Structure 1
Amino acid sequence: MTAGIGATVDRRPSRVDDAYAAIKAAIFDGTFAPGYQASAQEIALRLGVSRTPVHEAVLKLQEEGLVRIVPKRGIVICALAPDDVREIYDVMIAIEGRAAELAAARPDADRAAATARLAAANGRMEAALAAGDIRAWGEADDVFHRALVESAANGRISRIARTVGDQMHRARMLTLHLRGNLGASSGEHAAIIAAIRAGDGAAADAAARRHRQRTQGELLPLLKAWGLKHL
């Protein structure tokens, strides 16, 4: 009897995690577009899961700013306005700059491992761009930036960055087809990698900030030019 109860408890977090991952993927790929509204039951039916894990997963997604639970209306996928995108970039500029600086201050072996992961992600970006696979490029870019934050080995920075970064990733993936200078990112990433590898915190901070500032400066005018008021 005890084993049966334990097995049930062990499976429950997995179901919630699966529902969380499925809903987030649907948000990121546009299946659940900004402004989409549904009940937990409707979402559960679309994803082929039960209602209870969906409800718990949605609570987590609401904390991350991806959905809102509206009384008597259900679950609404949050839309991002250009001002939201600007604020998100402002936060990530500060976080990633500091993360790069902290990464550069870590021991040699840690820096070597971190830069290897970053270089691998950057290489996947270059290969995806050469193949014309823009979505794969965006996914590899996301891996690079998440690895950069993790390389700081600061749990609080990582938790904040995950929440804000998920919102940024959605905006970035929805606008990839509008951007015309994707190739510049690989060179900027290489500068970040080189600074961390050399243990130069100031250079790593500056390189990370320059990169995000450039992409912010590129994306915001695009949103305005295309009249995109919500993402």
Structure 2
Amino acid sequence: MKSITIKGSERESVGKKATKALRNAGLVPCVIYGGDKPLHFSAEELAFRDLVYTPNAHTVAIELDGGTIVNAVMQDIQFHPVTDKIIHIDFYQLFADKPVTMDIPVRLQGNSPGVRNGGRLLFRKRKLAIKALPDKLPDFFDIDISKLRIGQNIAVASLLSDDFTILHPDSTTVVQVKTARTAVVTDDEDEEDEEGAEAEAEVETTEAEGAQE
């Protein structure tokens, strides 16, 4: 997974007055958990732009005064209810041998024939929560929908991997195509329906002949 570097300054004073002063100066107070003790630091709000205002998932290399670098992932973020400015961020420190939980975005690849025929595409899960070691975190879940027909879906079960654990039931639908009033049936689907009808007719004929005997 790609990493973003954020430069900040470790802060010793963590009281309300000190926190308010940081925000007034355009800085965001942050805390890194997961180590021996919480590590408090602050950084300019613009430094978090590529981390927060993006659909992508990233790990973070937090570079503090003195050259200390802490690898982490964002766990929680708070915005001002009126101005929407970032007012606080919690991070969780990464260790090579400790799994971490993270939301990974889902990307759809290709064009669904079901949608082309008038079906309605429902993107149920745009992100999936997973648990993995830091070096096994994927950037995306890429899902090919080029064979997804009307009435079909793609579930979590098709995305399982030995590299991570998906924290959703296997039956969870990620994307599906539902029937719409304007939907049309393709030639392939016509053939499938005809084959099914012929099979039913054969069964009915056999049952009728058995009854006559």
Which structure's residues are more often strand, by fraction? Answer: 2
Please confirm whether the aligned pair reaches a TM-score higher than 0.5, indicating the same fold.
no
Which structure's residues are more often helix, by fraction? Answer: 1
Q: TM-score, normalised by structure 1?
A: 0.20
Q: TM-score, normalised by structure 2?
A: 0.21
Greater RCO, 1 or 2 (C-alpha within 8 Å, sep 6+): 1
Larger Rg: 2
